[in-house]
Homo-oligomer: A and B are copies of this chain.
Amino acid sequence: MKRTVIAAAVIAAATAGIATAQQGPKPEDEIRYRQSVMNVVGRAMGPMGAMAQGKAPFNAAVVQKNAALIDSLMGLHWNSFGPGTDKGAPTKADPKIWKETAKFKQAAEAGQKAVASLVAASKGGEEAAFKAAFGEVGKACKSCHDDFRTKEFHN
């Protein structure tokens, strides 16, 4: 009996926020979530950027791990740009996201495609292929940020 109570409490603690999720996450939670995803993606880009710039030696294992991590993250946050999530917490999301949705979707898909190519290239373990694929990821990041990210935070 005691065991059951503890188990229930543990599951409740581990899943706090599910009630909210079922009603749809709050705008501030969506904003924080997409920023979190981008933050983890950005950190994973770092070591690969250093390699691409020749500031760190090429390390195939690190590239493979970080490319796979970014790939698993890139699909997560696009759904967090839903209606009503343009404000609610400080954000750099450009209002254009909710006006030019087709163009934003296209930019998101280009990013995911570039990352998928980087994952494929990373499996070969070749520096030149990595650099080419990483350059394409960088272009996709920059293009989407140029079009859909404001320079300063706004509410």
Contact = CB atoms under 8 A, between A and B. Distances in A.
Interface in A10-56: 10-15, 17-18, 21-22, 32-33, 35-37, 39-40, 42-43, 45-46, 48-50, 52-53, 55
Given A7-B135, A32-B39, A40-B37, A15 B52 contact: yes
Interface residues of A, number: 41
A140 B51 CA distance: 36
B39 A139 contact: no
A142 B10 contact: yes
A140 B53 CA distance: 40
Contacts of A35: 36
A138 B13 CA distance: 7
Contacts of A106: none
Contact of A15 (B7, B45, B139): B45
A63 interface: no
23 contacts: A10-B139, A10-B142, A11-B49, A11-B134, A11-B135, A12-B53, A14-B142, A15-B45, A15-B49, A15-B50, A17-B46, A18-B49, A18-B50, A18-B53, A21-B50, A22-B50, A32-B39, A33-B43, A37-B40, A40-B40, A40-B73, A40-B76, A69-B72
Interface of A: 7, 10-15, 17-18, 21-22, 32-33, 35-37, 39-40, 42-43, 45-46, 48-50, 52-53, 55, 68-69, 72-73, 76, 134-135, 137-139, 141-142, 145
